[in-house]
A and B are shown apart, each in its own frame.
Chain A
């Protein structure tokens, strides 16, 4: 468990719609510094989309994402949609309006909405524009503070280094602090780049130009993930799946990130290799103090690796608790169905296992009372309505 209460990432009412497909629908959670947050659910439930939205691979539909208190992502599409809807509604209603007063009232109402949303958009836009600026300003200040005393009687070398660092600080982006590890390491690595080029690509984009520094860092990373220096000049196809995944990890950690989004990093690997990669990630997490958002569907691995777990079902977060608590007291029927499906290496148990089926329409009656994510016991959230809230609280006692 993490003892550091600082919130690193905060996701607020995140929605990601692809046309009519609500891939992620009103998801909120926080990740504390130094913890591993597991996200599980069946394929197509939106867990990967959540991860990708955080790292800004998609523009989110609505909601906010804060990283260390800085808003890095805000959904604008829902605001635009609101404006369009309000205008359309006004047009429809004004045609049926009985008196000029009523029409004026409708217009005022519409304009109010439009003005409000426009203000929101402006706010979000300025936040998005300034988040990187603020961050780089902070870094520039740090660099300056470090080099200013030295500059008075500095050699050319130090001046060069200072210019180098300053440039890097000016180019820095907040999202650079978040890195991603992909599921399919085969297609995530460019087949025409050597391992050295792959691993150092991020550094170069960030502004590092010193070949020596780059090489040094690449070797360091290779050794950290259990490969050797000689591997740097090879191409991805010369490696096995497990080794390729290690390269993917090296590429992520060379950027010195604080948060890693690991999207099913071990699903495509063999058991024995899986254990090697999990052990490696565990070591890195301990040594580098990483925070990890771990997206996976293998519950045994998630349980082993995560401090807290969120369960997603069709774009909604249905349950959120510490991993011990979730496996001990699963409350939401979907979580229970999910846990009942985990295969265990025990033939007698397996042959008598009863899988619990989950039928949302049978389990819940949300026709009147709409559900929301509520805290049943400290740190244990479940998606439920009033009646279910009471039921769950009784179950915990």
Chain B
């Protein structure tokens, strides 16, 4: 599975007036595409801090001590704020715990919902335009370089092909856009008619005037050459009559005529939505370049599709794909040549870092040259970004700064230590007891930093060599198709403009989806007019409106009641399935986690103490903290006293030497207070950091409450399977 997000050795502290609080102490995890990772733990365990670091919204007094968060080839801890603007909210969105503080109290809900959509619509349009142009230009360049090889006439022909592609792709999108509008209007009209009919039958029709007008406009919008076409006149006539008819019906109370009109409309629309969708891509080409500029008459859409497809393939597409494939192969040749050069260059410059004492000037010179060389290897036609290549420069630079900064700092520390120690010794020599001790010098391990640099270079060389080794397995055919699809997707981003009206319609739909009744009325209200649960739903709607890549949910349903919680979780799960969304889900409610999570990380005192799939954690948990969490919540069969976890989490200004949970852990052993346990591997997917898993440790079973519950759950599942 493709990994979306990589978090490595993340360490974060907070500067406070009492000292430095170590909130996150070196955690690692990754997030695959379309996967939900749940982070579970008490408040103060560092789970929210982790998610905020991913979104780049850590509080001002935070210090990122180390580690990396890699998304789309960028290290989110190192990129500048300007660049983060493009990612935050757009690619990575967040649902916050407290809705009141994440909404603006003096702006109406409707505006807050549509604001991001409109801004983002514009930004995305610009972004797509740039990406589309850049890749098409790169493709054109590579075609000209690889195929024409200096022949001007061939080069001209190739350039024309690219321009043609650009032109008819736009026609395609215009056609498909119009079709989509009409089609969605038709399906929406059908659902609306259904609900109106239902309400008429139950005699509870509300807001009739608005809804009839809505049905009318939806019906009229669904007229398109490929949706409602043959019966367009009848549809128009019915739709025009509807509002007036409904008005009289409301006065007389006799709805027979209105129902008849609605049924006719529904019949026409229901028929229309079953028609086959034409191949607009091929049609766009035909309409743009065919001399008649008019579609041939065909008995069925399938035949028309076949005809158009053949026309496109014969006249343009096959040749274009062949050219693109050649260009890709040529580009790949260049890429591998660059890789070989880069490897040689890196190996040659590596010697600079091997010296026992580094020279700042030479090192910086070598670093600059290497970073430049590495960036040059990037293949402009490659749509998947290589994170190692993109982060190499910044990563190495941080280490270099650490090294030379360390030299200065070490000197100062040694001096300070010597001075204080001398004073201390003087006092001792006088026979007095000094109050306090001398803080030992905290020195940066320069050798370690230097090794890190070498390691980074070696890792990149190894990565390049791997790429070269995998050269023969590349499938240019598939890559060409992927590239053309990528171009198509970006082109559609340019055409799909978000206007205020579209944004409002989308916002109303979202509000309905998250379970807000009477969205039209609510749209014009202010946050204070909503209850807490309602506000939370608004916040969720805002996050979903952005259509993000990664969604971070920080206790999104903690304040909601079960029915709404279930609806929201279903909504998030559906979106995840539809859009291949990756989700980081932070919560302390294990029932919710069981519903949402594919994998679970249990955090305590800034560390991940257990990590595994949902089944691993719930059925085979191994860490005492996980046991404590599981047994402290009541379920529907709990009657005995709850096993509350005694005490409170440790003060993270002075984190414990050994296992942080030892003080509250009834299974703690002597070693738990002395040394931190490493991550023990239980299975390929399941890890836990507890000394209980050490071969020498006594064998301890999970508490009885948990075993009982697992047995009960098995029983219940057995029952449900039988029934």
Interface residues of A (CB under 8 A from B): 41-44, 240-241, 267-268, 270-276, 278-279, 282, 297-301, 303-304, 327, 337-338, 340-353, 355, 358, 361, 367
Chain B residues whose CB sits within 8 angstroms of the CB of A304 once the complex forms: 634, 638-639, 642
- The answer to whether A282 and B641 have CB atoms under 8 Å apart is yes
CB distance from A240 to the nearest CB of B (A): 7
State A44–B42 Cα separation when bound (angstroms): 28
State A43–B634 Cα separation when bound (angstroms): 22
Chain A residues whose CB sits within 8 angstroms of the CB of B197 once the complex forms: none
CB within 8 Å for A346 and B563 given contacts A44-B533, A271-B588, A367-B202: no
CB distance from B513 to the nearest CB of A (A): 14
CB within 8 Å for A346 and B636 given contacts A272-B645, A275-B644, A361-B202: no
Further 15 A-B residue pairs, CB within 8 A, beyond A276-B645, A349-B717: A42-B563, A43-B564, A271-B42, A274-B632, A275-B645, A278-B642, A303-B634, A304-B638, A327-B636, A338-B562, A343-B569, A344-B713, A350-B591, A350-B595, A367-B202
Chain A residues whose CB sits within 8 angstroms of the CB of B590 once the complex forms: 271, 345
State A270–B639 Cα separation when bound (angstroms): 20
- The answer to whether A344 and B563 have CB atoms under 8 Å apart is no
State A240–B592 Cα separation when bound (angstroms): 24
Chain A residues whose CB sits within 8 angstroms of the CB of B42 once the complex forms: 270-273
State A42–B568 Cα separation when bound (angstroms): 14
- The answer to whether A341 and B562 have CB atoms under 8 Å apart is yes
State A274–B645 Cα separation when bound (angstroms): 10
Of B558, B561, B591, B720, the contact of A41 (CB 8 Å cutoff): B561
State A270–B603 Cα separation when bound (angstroms): 14
State A349–B710 Cα separation when bound (angstroms): 11
- The answer to whether A346 and B594 have CB atoms under 8 Å apart is yes
Query: With an 8 A cutoff between CB atoms, is B415 at the interface?
Result: no
- The answer to whether A353 and B635 have CB atoms under 8 Å apart is no
Chain B residues whose CB sits within 8 angstroms of the CB of A282 once the complex forms: 641
Of A43, A272, A279, the contact of B531 (CB 8 Å cutoff): A43
Chain B residues whose CB sits within 8 angstroms of the CB of A273 once the complex forms: 42, 644
Chain A residues whose CB sits within 8 angstroms of the CB of B562 once the complex forms: 42, 297-299, 338, 341-343
User: Which residues in window 521-552 of B have CB below 8 A to A?
Assistant: 531-534
State A303–B639 Cα separation when bound (angstroms): 9
CB distance from A142 to the nearest CB of B (A): 37
The 3 closest A-B pairs by CB, nearest first: A343-B591, A341-B566, A297-B561
- The answer to whether B203 and A272 have CB atoms under 8 Å apart is no
Of B198, B563, B641, B648, the contact of A240 (CB 8 Å cutoff): B648
Of A43, A241, A298, A350, the contact of B532 (CB 8 Å cutoff): A43
Of A271, A297, A355, A367, the contact of B589 (CB 8 Å cutoff): A271
CB within 8 Å for A275 and B588 given contacts A43-B533, A353-B595, A361-B198: no
CB within 8 Å for A343 and B634 given contacts A42-B563, A275-B642: no
CB within 8 Å for A272 and B595 given contacts A279-B641, A301-B634, A367-B202: no
Closest to B593 in A: A345
What 0/1 pattern do residues 606 to 635 of B give for CB contact below 8 A with A?
000000001100100000000011101111
State A278–B639 Cα separation when bound (angstroms): 12
CB distance from B358 to the nearest CB of A (A): 49
Chain B residues whose CB sits within 8 angstroms of the CB of A353 once the complex forms: 595
- The answer to whether A344 and B645 have CB atoms under 8 Å apart is no
State A342–B591 Cα separation when bound (angstroms): 8
State A345–B619 Cα separation when bound (angstroms): 10
State A241–B720 Cα separation when bound (angstroms): 39
- The answer to whether A43 and B566 have CB atoms under 8 Å apart is no
State A241–B597 Cα separation when bound (angstroms): 27
- The answer to whether B635 and A344 have CB atoms under 8 Å apart is yes
- The answer to whether A300 and B642 have CB atoms under 8 Å apart is no
Query: With an 8 A cutoff between CB atoms, is B410 at the interface?
Result: no
State A350–B199 Cα separation when bound (angstroms): 34
Closest to B532 in A: A43
Most buried by B among A304, A338, A347: A347
State A267–B570 Cα separation when bound (angstroms): 22
Query: With an 8 A cutoff between CB atoms, is B657 at the interface?
Result: no
Can you identify 14 A-B contacts, CB atoms within 8 angstroms?
A42-B562, A43-B532, A241-B43, A271-B629, A271-B632, A275-B643, A297-B562, A300-B638, A304-B638, A327-B636, A343-B566, A343-B591, A350-B591, A350-B594
Of B199, B570, B643, the contact of A355 (CB 8 Å cutoff): B570
Interface residues of B (CB under 8 A from A): 42-43, 198-199, 202-204, 531-534, 558-567, 569-570, 588-595, 597, 614-615, 618, 628-630, 632-636, 638-639, 641-645, 648, 709, 713, 716-717, 720
CB within 8 Å for A270 and B588 given contacts A44-B533, A344-B636, A367-B203: yes
Closest to B639 in A: A304
CB distance from A395 to the nearest CB of B (A): 16
- The answer to whether B533 and A275 have CB atoms under 8 Å apart is no
CB within 8 Å for A271 and B531 given contacts A41-B561, A300-B591, A349-B713: no
CB within 8 Å for A343 and B43 given contacts A43-B560, A300-B634: no
Chain A residues whose CB sits within 8 angstroms of the CB of B565 once the complex forms: 341, 343
Chain A residues whose CB sits within 8 angstroms of the CB of B618 once the complex forms: 345-347
Chain A residues whose CB sits within 8 angstroms of the CB of B648 once the complex forms: 240
CB within 8 Å for A42 and B533 given contacts A282-B641, A347-B597, A367-B203: yes
CB distance from A85 to the nearest CB of B (A): 25
Chain A residues whose CB sits within 8 angstroms of the CB of B202 once the complex forms: 361, 367
- The answer to whether A300 and B635 have CB atoms under 8 Å apart is yes
- The answer to whether A275 and B561 have CB atoms under 8 Å apart is no
Chain B residues whose CB sits within 8 angstroms of the CB of A351 once the complex forms: 595
Chain B residues whose CB sits within 8 angstroms of the CB of A270 once the complex forms: 42-43, 588
Chain A residues whose CB sits within 8 angstroms of the CB of B638 once the complex forms: 300, 304
State A303–B638 Cα separation when bound (angstroms): 9
Chain B residues whose CB sits within 8 angstroms of the CB of A300 once the complex forms: 591, 633-636, 638
- The answer to whether B633 and A346 have CB atoms under 8 Å apart is no
Chain B residues whose CB sits within 8 angstroms of the CB of A301 once the complex forms: 634
Chain A residues whose CB sits within 8 angstroms of the CB of B639 once the complex forms: 304
State A360–B459 Cα separation when bound (angstroms): 63
State A276–B713 Cα separation when bound (angstroms): 25
Of B569, B588, B591, the contact of A344 (CB 8 Å cutoff): B591
- The answer to whether B716 and A345 have CB atoms under 8 Å apart is no
Most buried by B among A268, A338, A346: A346
Closest to B630 in A: A345
Closest to B45 in A: A270
Chain A residues whose CB sits within 8 angstroms of the CB of B636 once the complex forms: 299-300, 303, 327, 342, 344
Chain B residues whose CB sits within 8 angstroms of the CB of A343 once the complex forms: 562, 565-566, 569, 589, 591-592, 594-595
Chain A residues whose CB sits within 8 angstroms of the CB of B628 once the complex forms: 272
CB distance from B616 to the nearest CB of A (A): 10
Chain A residues whose CB sits within 8 angstroms of the CB of B716 once the complex forms: 346, 349
Chain A residues whose CB sits within 8 angstroms of the CB of B717 once the complex forms: 346, 348-349
CB distance from A95 to the nearest CB of B (A): 25
- The answer to whether B629 and A355 have CB atoms under 8 Å apart is no
- The answer to whether A44 and B635 have CB atoms under 8 Å apart is no
Closest to A278 in B: B642
- The answer to whether A352 and B720 have CB atoms under 8 Å apart is yes
CB distance from A38 to the nearest CB of B (A): 13
CB distance from B517 to the nearest CB of A (A): 10
State A126–B310 Cα separation when bound (angstroms): 93
Chain A residues whose CB sits within 8 angstroms of the CB of B558 once the complex forms: 267
State A241–B648 Cα separation when bound (angstroms): 11
State A240–B647 Cα separation when bound (angstroms): 12
Chain A residues whose CB sits within 8 angstroms of the CB of B595 once the complex forms: 343, 347, 350-351, 353
State A17–B641 Cα separation when bound (angstroms): 40
Chain A residues whose CB sits within 8 angstroms of the CB of B644 once the complex forms: 272-273, 275-276, 279
Most buried by A among B42, B198, B564, B566: B566
CB within 8 Å for A347 and B615 given contacts A43-B533, A304-B638, A353-B595: yes
Chain A residues whose CB sits within 8 angstroms of the CB of B592 once the complex forms: 343
Closest to B713 in A: A346
State A386–B698 Cα separation when bound (angstroms): 64
CB distance from A278 to the nearest CB of B (A): 6
CB distance from B119 to the nearest CB of A (A): 31
